[in-house]
A and B are shown apart, each in its own frame.
Chain A
């Protein structure tokens, strides 16, 4: 409970003694490149293969001749939008960006760089953490949308090139009974997950004490806690918005 209280106070401190608007624009742009652009490769690779594997495994399990082929791509589509892209990519995102945020802030803490900012009269939490949180909240939903597209693309190639289903069936399936709200749901999840990952990782890094060993522990702890928070939020959102 004490950690939760400290986390809430830390979040509140992001919005006090702020710097100028232009300063934040510059920092947020830089962070968007760090967390978004630099994650494109890993998100792309993981998404394409998830799409391919999901298509093959769905086809393998749908053995009844009464189930039309286009159901395979329909299942892939709904899995991608509802779970694979927002949640599984969030776990990847926590591993890549969360550990990087915790490591960076932890190193800044133990090498007194955060103290140097405070001595200059800068609110270090607002200056360092707020741009990271905002950048994650901006970039992660975009990565999720991209991931959905790449999963469907990966599934398309795996399905059509191996002869599991035809191109026409695949495209018919991904359009069949499409529910627009699912995309809204995926974006809501992405917004919540990105906030959790960025804020928890920042919190873990910002309050690191000790030396390089503790920075490593903070990074690990950031990823573990972010993943748990994402999974809990995943369940809560599913219950709230779809239950």
Chain B
């Protein structure tokens, strides 16, 4: 479980996040949703420690990440896996080396064991016989899968996904969503996903936090989201014709 308490952040005098608190639950797909430029990715970066908040704290199972010791932060970081928006695979390394990288840095497993783990994770995300390919030789969807394999290779307790299906066709996007959903329940990890894709919200939103202009406006489940009376939320949820028609039915 991850708890965030009163997170505020500003850049060059412009406040981007306003006093955001909330809880992200273990074994659930926790979604942070909102329009582009509303502070979702900034909030995620505050949670994983890429940005330090001006105010507030982030607690991983009661261990403070912001105010804790360097040793605590190091330990928490070992338990984190993250899928980036652009996959963030290392260009100079092949697929196998990319997925093995966290094991090389964070563990002292024998090489055979690392390779077995890499192959297991690549198979788990549906990729075989691509170990020696370079990231530039595979498609966007495959890169996302490799990114997921790298994120789970060190058996994380927390998985973070920044717009996992952005830039993908709807079918591949759904496959990636389903994969994240399966991994979350299979490994019983706390997953936080930043997205503005309503398909993902409906498919996998066990727990949803809605942000608007850096403020948390709503929290609930995917069943509750379509029944809310909040105008700003409805404007976001029913922005597309498809969602409007689904709602009318």
- Shortest beta-carbon distance from B155 to chain A in Å: 14
Which one of A108, A113, A119 lies within 8 Å of B80 (CB-CB)? A119
With contacts A118-B49, A118-B50, A119-B50 known, is A23 near B105, CB below 8 A?
yes
In the bound assembly, the distance between CA atoms of A23 and B107 in angstroms comes to: 12
Q: Is the Cβ of A116 less than 8 Å from the Cβ of B91?
A: no
A111 sits at the interface (CB 8 A): yes
| B50: A residues at CB distance < 8 A | 115, 118-119
Q: Is the Cβ of A119 less than 8 Å from the Cβ of B77?
A: yes
Stretch at the interface among B13-21, B22-30, B81-89, B125-133: B81-89
B59 sits at the interface (CB 8 A): no
In the bound assembly, the distance between CA atoms of A113 and B102 in angstroms comes to: 13
| A112: B residues at CB distance < 8 A | 84-86, 88
Contact string, B40-51, partner A, CB cutoff 8 A, digits 1/0?
000001001110
| B248: A residues at CB distance < 8 A | none
In the bound assembly, the distance between CA atoms of A116 and B102 in angstroms comes to: 10
With contacts A119-B82, A120-B77 known, is A113 near B105, CB below 8 A?
no
B187 sits at the interface (CB 8 A): no
In the bound assembly, the distance between CA atoms of A111 and B87 in angstroms comes to: 8
Q: Is the Cβ of A121 less than 8 Å from the Cβ of B78?
A: yes
With contacts A118-B50, A119-B77 known, is A111 near B86, CB below 8 A?
yes
In the bound assembly, the distance between CA atoms of A78 and B69 in angstroms comes to: 56
| A121: B residues at CB distance < 8 A | 73-74, 77-78, 105-106
Contact string, A81-104, partner B, CB cutoff 8 A, digits 1/0?
000000000000000000000000
Q: Is the Cβ of A113 less than 8 Å from the Cβ of B88?
A: yes
Write the chain B residue with the least CB distance to A119: B82
| A17: B residues at CB distance < 8 A | 70
Q: How many B residues face the partner with a CB closer than 8 A?
A: 23
In the bound assembly, the distance between CA atoms of A121 and B50 in angstroms comes to: 10
Most buried by B among A111, A118, A121, A122: A121
| B106: A residues at CB distance < 8 A | 120-121
In the bound assembly, the distance between CA atoms of A107 and B88 in angstroms comes to: 11
In the bound assembly, the distance between CA atoms of A122 and B105 in angstroms comes to: 8
- Shortest beta-carbon distance from A59 to chain B in Å: 48
- Shortest beta-carbon distance from A126 to chain B in Å: 12
Most buried by B among A112, A116, A122: A116
Contact string, A1-23, partner B, CB cutoff 8 A, digits 1/0?
00000000000000001010001
In the bound assembly, the distance between CA atoms of A17 and B78 in angstroms comes to: 14
Contact string, B94-118, partner A, CB cutoff 8 A, digits 1/0?
0000000110011000000000000
- Shortest beta-carbon distance from B224 to chain A in Å: 31
- Shortest beta-carbon distance from A71 to chain B in Å: 50
Q: Is the Cβ of A107 less than 8 Å from the Cβ of B91?
A: yes
| A113: B residues at CB distance < 8 A | 88-91
With contacts A19-B105, A121-B106 known, is A116 near B88, CB below 8 A?
yes
In the bound assembly, the distance between CA atoms of A119 and B77 in angstroms comes to: 6
Most buried by B among A19, A115, A120: A120
Q: Is the Cβ of B105 less than 8 Å from the Cβ of A120?
A: yes
In the bound assembly, the distance between CA atoms of A78 and B141 in angstroms comes to: 60
In the bound assembly, the distance between CA atoms of A103 and B88 in angstroms comes to: 16
- Shortest beta-carbon distance from A152 to chain B in Å: 37
- Shortest beta-carbon distance from B192 to chain A in Å: 13
CB within 8 Å of B: which of A101-145?
107-108, 111-113, 115-116, 118-122
In the bound assembly, the distance between CA atoms of A17 and B89 in angstroms comes to: 23
Write the chain B residue with the least CB distance to A127: B105
- List 25 contacting pairs A-B, 8 Å CB cutoff, sorted by A: A17-B70, A108-B91, A111-B86, A111-B91, A112-B84, A113-B89, A113-B90, A113-B91, A115-B45, A115-B88, A116-B82, A118-B50, A119-B49, A119-B50, A119-B80, A120-B77, A120-B80, A120-B102, A120-B105, A120-B106, A121-B73, A121-B74, A121-B78, A121-B106, A122-B105
Interface residues of B, Cβ cutoff 8 Å to A: 45, 48-50, 70, 73-74, 77-78, 80, 82, 84-86, 88-91, 101-102, 105-106, 160
Interface residues of A, Cβ cutoff 8 Å to B: 17, 19, 23, 107-108, 111-113, 115-116, 118-122
